[in-house]
Amino acid sequence: MYARHFGLREAPFNITPDTSYFFTSPHSQEALNTLLVAAKSGEGFIKITGEVGTGKTLLCRKFIATIGAGFVTAYIPNPLLEPRTLMLALADELEIALDRDVDQHQLLKSITARLIDLARQNQQVLLLLDEAQAIPLESLEALRLLSNLETEKRKLLQIILFGQPELNVRLRDNTVRQLAQRITFHYHLGPLKRDDLDYYLAHRLRVAGYDGSRLFTRGAVARLYGASGGIPRLVNIIANKALMACFGEGRQQVTRRHVSLAARDTVPPRGQARLGWIAAGLGVLAAAAGLTWTLTGR
């Protein structure tokens, strides 16, 4: 809608995890370095945690794109699976041909044979599980048993867990204490710091093709940080709406007021009825886009 108005090739603040927009803040770079070092060590489990919207999935995809030759990655985005289904998902990622009615013994035997074959080819296998806080406890135990597969030199399978902080609570359960003890590398991915936000905005705008002067005023950036808490997903959502509001007014620079309008449309204030606030927010954006919007029943 607004790309041409601001001289952009594409919208810069989409929330889809596009690795070309990966921003090397101190947090994200440290997390990526941790993953790279841990993967090359070939030992134990790796755990990356972070609040909702801090960029865990984008980090995961950036890691896959960065790890380079010598590694085979198996990625499972939704591991809310019972043990057998999780094993089948891993087999599918490793391109293992299975009979439709394969039993548990043959399934594990086929996975082991594939892992041994890849090890002979000097390929290290990494299993990456996103949203790992959702993994059932019995499936976590199945993962631990899988991690026992090894040669005399190294593990046949290394497992990386990406999850919300609830994953830490799940790993304190007594039934998976052996797995928790095997986590040799871990990192908590935090929000952007205030000083990083200007660079984050500039980076995404540059990737999207912007080559003009400052697009977000300093007041807009300050308001954006206050509204988002530095959570990248919220930053993207609010910044996108602020650009829409700015475009709707025919202006060329996003101000604090545009961000405030966008923030009110995104984060309902405490005590405000949700439906009423959504209706009000839709009215703001519609007005900003120059549309006629009539809200009734308020």
pLDDT digits (tens, 9 = 90+) for 153-177: 778 999 999 999 999 999 999 999 9
Residue 158 CA to residue 125 CA, distance in Å, equals 6
**Backbone phi, psi, residue 160, to 5°:** -120, 125
- At residue 268, the pLDDT reads 57
More confident residue, 65 or 271: 65
pLDDT (tens digit per residue) in 25-52:
988 999 999 999 999 888 779 999 999 9
Cα(151)–Cα(282) distance, integer angstroms:
59
Which residues lie closer than 8 Å to 295 by C-beta, 6 or more apart?
279, 280, 282, 283
What pLDDT score does 270 carry? 43
The predicted pLDDT at position 275 comes to 36
With contact defined as beta carbons under 8 Å apart, do 90 and 74 qualify?
yes
Q: Name the CATH code of domain 3-18+192-288 (choices 1.10.3470, 1.50.10, 1.10.8, 3.30.360).
A: 1.10.8
With bands split at pLDDT 50, 70 and 90, how would you rate the model's confidence at 259?
very high
| Res 292: pLDDT | 34
139-144: average pLDDT: 93
List the domain boundaries for the chain: 3-18+192-288, 26-189
* Residue 129 main-chain phi, psi, to 5 deg: -120, 115
pLDDT at residue 130, as a whole number: 97
Average pLDDT, the chain: 89
CATH fit for domain 26-189, picks 3.40.228.10, 3.40.50.720, 3.40.190.10, 3.40.50.300: 3.40.50.300
pTM of the model: 0.86
Q: How far is CA 131 from CA 50, 110, 134, 166, 281, in A?
A: 10, 26, 6, 10, 30
Nearest to residue 206, comparing CAs of 6, 2, 5, 8? 8
3-state secondary structure of 70: coil
Give the integer Cα–Cα distance in Å for 59 and 55.
Answer: 6
Residue 113 corresponds to which amino acid? A
The pLDDT confidence band at residue 152, using thresholds 50, 70 and 90, is low
